[in-house]
Structure 1
Amino acid sequence: MEESKISKRPKLKNPYLIVAWPGMGEVAFKAATYLVDKLQAKEFAQIPAQEFFYLTASAIKEGILSLPELPYNKFYYWKNPATKSSQESHDLIIFISSAQPDLSKAEDYCQRIISLAKSFKVKSIIGFAAMPQPIDHTQESRAWFTPSTSELLNSLKKYNLNLMSEGQISGMNGLFLGIAKREGINGFCLLGEIPLYTIQIENPKGSCAVLEALSKILNIKIDLANLIDQARIMESEINRLLDFLKLGPATAAPIGEEEIEKIKKSLSQLTKLPLSIKEKIEALFEQAKTDIPKANELKQELDKWNVYKEYEDRFLDLFKKKKEKDN
């Protein structure tokens, strides 16, 4: 197994590891990439993608077909100025992947990240995720948390976050923390609220809630102004589209056709499934062709993202082909 590629080994003091992958509302991925940008964290290592990801389609750009690049899996570091004078402060290692890996390889993938974390003597891990809730998109998102030990639970109570006491965190944003706990590194997950009906839309409010909580817990300053602006724009676009849809096609549009098309085009880009989820769905379709029990997992994934209708014909074809094969 190829090791992680480390371009330099920074000297870090009491580092925490932050991890994030794309997922619902892109809450985790957006929060982590924004954090890297605002802290001006520096890249220092990466995990070769070819061991844990595989291509499922070709990409077409400006009419030309080609193979897409494999997802990136990068480590960044940030030296906290406060560590020079405080033993309570922590430097940060931030790991970001642009897609979720094939979950059949998740164990080895997690071990690769944990191995690097242990080499830097990381004592705690912080994960990010989304928390779908029956809220309106105009409401402020609250931050939730779930720790891997009772000690962390007690220490985090003072920040007045909402405790996620039951349920599960799907995908790598949840799985990694569980595997890390088994391997001796505890931590907690910060979750940002998103409306149930917008899980396919990038949600800056959810990411902002996560980073506000992180800022309090780690006592670091994060400039959230740009993220707040993005959240306002997103809320405005959704409001305007909903107003248009409520009026119906027979009613005169309250805004010009050109503006309507602009809104629709904008939201069409936002409501697409995250690339990592598309790849996971395609992989499950391929697996179900030869292993029909995989269809159950596929159906659960399609239902979770509310896209079963879009894939219904392909899904039913799996059973037709099996029946033809059996006959």
Structure 2
Amino acid sequence: MKSITVKKRIRLKNPVLIAAWPGMGDVALKAATYLKDKLGAQEFATLESCEYFHPSGVWIDNNLIDIPQHPVGRFYFFRNPAGVSDIIIFISDAQPFIEKGYEYASEIVDFIVSMKVKTVYTFAAMPLPIEHTQIPEVYAVATKKEILDQFEKANVKSMPSGQISGLNGLILGVAKERGLDGVCLLGEIPLYTIQIENPLASKMVLEALVRHLKLSVDLGELQKHADQISQEIEHLIEYLKNPPEEEKPIDQKEIDIIKKGLAESASLPESAAKKIEDLFKMAKKDLSRAIELKKELDKWNVYEQYEDSFLDLFKKPLKKNN
């Protein structure tokens, strides 16, 4: 536990761990972050070490380069007044590079063992040839058949064979080595949307877990976000099927709207504002850049300010009468 810093000493009742990292469709990260926010879980420890990660770039603010920031993993706790188990949630900014994955997972498991954790839960995406309009099913894999049976009784399918890549699976293998139980809940996502966040899959896996842990969590906001993403995918598909006859560069009026909105976001670095403005221009010419733009808007929590401008990218120009 050389890289873990405990900020607050706590005692928990029969705690379980829920761990998540960025991955396909942001299924795991979205589910864990949403749960953490809804429960009001409090941070009590961090895992930070440069040996697990290679910086892939730097941020530029006010024309100056910042010092490279290494990803941080944070531990949160929630005392469950209704259930038999308290909750520890671990959320990391990134997954370590492959050759350090086992060591990284081992450090997390060693730490939670010291806190008397007996079960580890993770989430993952399951890319399949399905449509984004379908309700994704949830699959479960576990370290013991008895645990799997509990989820199957709740209409969660079992995954008979295959592989779970990355930390979402590896940490369960390490947990089993240490004598802990482990479960991974996988949500279906369409193959053509693996680079797009999938809040519906996040909602489905989270729904299965909160039911299993007897937690009371309102998933309404996650469903609303899922509906929004589905609408955006529909716009994109419609555009790809029927592209406009003429592409026009973004005009000054649209630029002014974007700049005005960006100015209203005081927490937005100048470099980020410039990047968003440039992405709007690029998306106007090449709609495939809209996905990158959407991620950037979500990253800085400014999507709602630019929702109209973003959706306007998908509108076709009216055809002129001859």
TM over 0.5: same fold? yes
* 2:110 counterpart residue number: 115
Is the counterpart of residue 60 in structure 1 residue 60 in structure 2?
Answer: yes
Match 1:268 to one of 292, 303, 309: 292
Q: Give the Å deviation of 1:249.
A: 3.9
Q: Give the Å deviation of 1:138.
A: 1.4
Q: What is the rounded CA distance, in whole Å, between the counterparts of 1:177 and 1:107 in structure 2?
A: 11
Q: Give the Å deviation of 1:105.
A: 1.6
1:116-265 superposed matches below 5 A = 116-250=111-245, 261=284, 264=287
* 1:43 counterpart residue number: 43
- Kindly indicate whether the alpha-carbon contact (under 8 Å) linking 1:201 and 1:270 is maintained by their aligned counterparts in 2: no
Q: What is the rounded CA distance, in whole Å, between the counterparts of 2:247 and 2:48 in structure 1?
A: 54
Q: What is the rounded CA distance, in whole Å, between the counterparts of 2:285 and 2:188 in structure 1?
A: 27
* Residue identity matched to 1:269: L
Q: What is the rounded CA distance, in whole Å, between the counterparts of 1:266 and 1:61 in structure 2?
A: 24
Instruction: Please give the secondary structure, in 1, of the residue aligned with 2:95.
Output: coil
Q: Give the Å deviation of 1:64.
A: 3.8
* Residue identity matched to 1:171: G
* Residue identity matched to 2:29: F
Q: Give the Å deviation of 1:62.
A: 5.8
Question: Which residues of structure 1 form unaligned runs of 5+?
Answer: 84-88, 276-327
* Residue identity matched to 1:37: D
Q: What is the rounded CA distance, in whole Å, between the counterparts of 1:37 and 1:44 in structure 2?
A: 15
Q: What is the rounded CA distance, in whole Å, between the counterparts of 1:101 and 1:119 in structure 2?
A: 23
Q: What is the rounded CA distance, in whole Å, between the counterparts of 1:213 and 1:141 in structure 2?
A: 12
- Kindly indicate whether the alpha-carbon contact (under 8 Å) linking 1:237 and 1:267 is maintained by their aligned counterparts in 2: no
Q: What is the rounded CA distance, in whole Å, between the counterparts of 1:251 and 1:134 in structure 2?
A: 33
Answer with 42-51 or 21-30: which moved more: 42-51
Question: Which residues of structure 2 form unaligned runs of 5+?
Answer: 249-253, 255-279, 300-322
Instruction: Please give the secondary structure, in 1, of the residue aligned with 2:76.
Output: strand
Instruction: Please give the secondary structure, in 1, of the residue aligned with 2:175.
Output: helix
Instruction: Please give the secondary structure, in 1, of the residue aligned with 2:160.
Output: coil
Q: Deviations over 1:205-251 (max 9, x none)?
A: 11001111012111111111111111111010110111111113438
Q: What is the rounded CA distance, in whole Å, between the counterparts of 2:25 and 2:208 in structure 1?
A: 18
Q: What is the rounded CA distance, in whole Å, between the counterparts of 1:181 and 1:206 in structure 2?
A: 26
1:267-306 superposed matches below 5 A = 267-270=291-294
* Residue identity matched to 2:155: N
* 2:99 counterpart residue number: 104
Q: Give the Å deviation of 1:116.
A: 1.3
Q: What is the rounded CA distance, in whole Å, between the counterparts of 1:55 and 1:263 in structure 2?
A: 29
Instruction: Please give the secondary structure, in 2, of the residue aligned with 1:82.
Output: coil
Q: Give the Å deviation of 1:261.
A: 3.9
Q: What is the rounded CA distance, in whole Å, between the counterparts of 1:262 and 1:21 in structure 2?
A: 33
* Residue identity matched to 1:187: G
* Residue identity matched to 2:39: L
* Residue identity matched to 2:124: A
Instruction: Please give the secondary structure, in 1, of the residue aligned with 2:14.
Output: coil
Instruction: Please give the secondary structure, in 2, of the residue aligned with 1:206.
Output: helix
Q: What CA RMSD, in Å, does the superposition of the two structures yield over aligned residues?
A: 2.6
Q: What is the rounded CA distance, in whole Å, between the counterparts of 2:8 and 2:286 in structure 1?
A: 45
* 2:2 counterpart residue number: 2
Q: What is the rounded CA distance, in whole Å, between the counterparts of 1:261 and 1:251 in structure 2?
A: 11
Q: Deviations over 1:124-151 (max 9, x none)?
A: 1111111111111111122111111122
* 2:73 counterpart residue number: 73
Q: Give the Å deviation of 1:48.
A: 1.8
Q: Give the Å deviation of 1:271.
A: 6.8
Q: Give the Å deviation of 1:195.
A: 0.5
Q: What is the rounded CA distance, in whole Å, between the counterparts of 1:249 and 1:172 in structure 2?
A: 43
* 1:308 counterpart residue number: none
Q: Deviations over 1:21-55 (max 9, x none)?
A: 11000100111111100000000001123231122
Q: What is the rounded CA distance, in whole Å, between the counterparts of 1:193 and 1:91 in structure 2?
A: 28
Q: Give the Å deviation of 1:98.
A: 0.9
TM-score of the two chains, using structure 1 as the length reference: 0.75
Q: Give the Å deviation of 1:61.
A: 4.5
* Residue identity matched to 2:97: D
The percent of aligned pairs where both chains have the same amino acid is 45
Q: What is the rounded CA distance, in whole Å, between the counterparts of 1:157 and 1:81 in structure 2?
A: 26
* Residue identity matched to 2:181: N
* Residue identity matched to 1:268: E
Instruction: Please give the secondary structure, in 1, of the residue aligned with 2:226.
Output: helix
